[in-house]
Amino acid sequence: MAHHCYLNNKIDSVENTNIHITDLGLLRGYGLFDYFRTYNGRPFQWDWYWERFDRSAKLMKLPNPISKEKAYSVVMALIEKSGLEDCGIRFVLTGGYSPDAMKMIEPNLLIISEDIHPVKESEYEAGMKVISHEYVRDYPEIKSTDYKHLMILQSDIREAGATDVLFHKDGKISELSRSNVFIVKNNVIATPDTQILRGITRRYILELAKANFKVEERSVALQEVLEADEVFTTSTTKKVLPITRIDNQLVGSENRSVSKFLLEEMNHHLKTW
């Protein structure tokens, strides 16, 4: 079945949903988004995602035009209309239509159902390659629609045979372009705690990890990453995915027992979500 989109209190097919050219998201890049997926037809960690979406709106001074309860009912309607066992849901909140390309009158909120593009099983075995790049996102705690830096780097990523980029600044790492980073050294897990988007899967994995490992949320040096026993990333679609090469350097061991354990734990809990 075709996917659908909610816009201005109306649900229609994605193909029939349009945004006017005066929208500030287009003219000024003034917008934010959030993305989550369902498991067994239910939104994963809905409360956490809503909390982050609403916080991002406040930080960007964008009025949130919908209540949590109404948003949930819209999400469930979109899931049903998708006809899929599971799907992705994307929230996009923009500055809305502007008469002078500057003044905000009323925001636009889109809620869209999408296909999920999960990681292949073979990728969990092989791990992923990333390139390193010195950069920190503007307002990293906000899930902004501003991805221009990543888009500019796309050709570099492809030419390197990589799939993403690891951001670092002054010798400290922050995150990948769309996911968080963890390292393991001597069975201790560490992950950056500043200049990052606080991912929902990151939060979930931290809860799982703290029951079995020592966990540190702190600044992490790039050199630590290169010398780690394991490096992995977490996100909605990646879950817990090993990083095995940064630029031209192999990282981590082939064992990867910690990331494998955490992935298995997450998959086990998701069966009954």
CATH number of the domain encompassing residue 234: 3.20.10.10
pTM, two decimal places: 0.96
Residue with tokens 């799982």: 208
In the chain, what percentage of residues exceed pLDDT 90?
97
Active site residues: 129
Task: Tell me, yes or no, whether 171 and 213 share the same domain.
Answer: yes
> Considering the chain, what is the average pLDDT of its residues?
97
CB atoms near residue 227 (< 10 Å): 12
Task: Tell me, yes or no, whether 172 and 213 share the same domain.
Answer: yes
Asked which of 114, 144, 168 is the last residue of a domain, the reply is 114
pLDDT at 50 over 90: yes
Burial of 134 (0-12, 13-18, 19+ CB in 10 A): exposed
Beta bridge partners of 242: 232
The tens digit of pLDDT for each residue in 63-110 reads 999 999 999 999 999 999 999 999 999 999 999 999 999 999 999 999
Please report the pLDDT score of residue 254 as a whole number: 87
Phi, psi dihedrals of residue 70, rounded to the nearest 5°: -65, -40
Q: Please tell me the total number of residues recorded for the chain in this structure.
A: 273
Task: Tell me, yes or no, whether 262 and 166 share the same domain.
Answer: yes
Q: How confident is the model at residue 56 (pLDDT cuts 50, 70, 90)?
A: very high
Number of domains observed in the structure of the chain = 2
The tens digit of pLDDT for each residue in 10-33 reads 999 999 999 999 999 999 999 999
Range of the domain at 226: 121-270
Please report the pLDDT score of residue 100 as a whole number: 97
Please report the pLDDT score of residue 1 as a whole number: 60
The tens digit of pLDDT for each residue in 187-200 reads 999 999 999 999 99
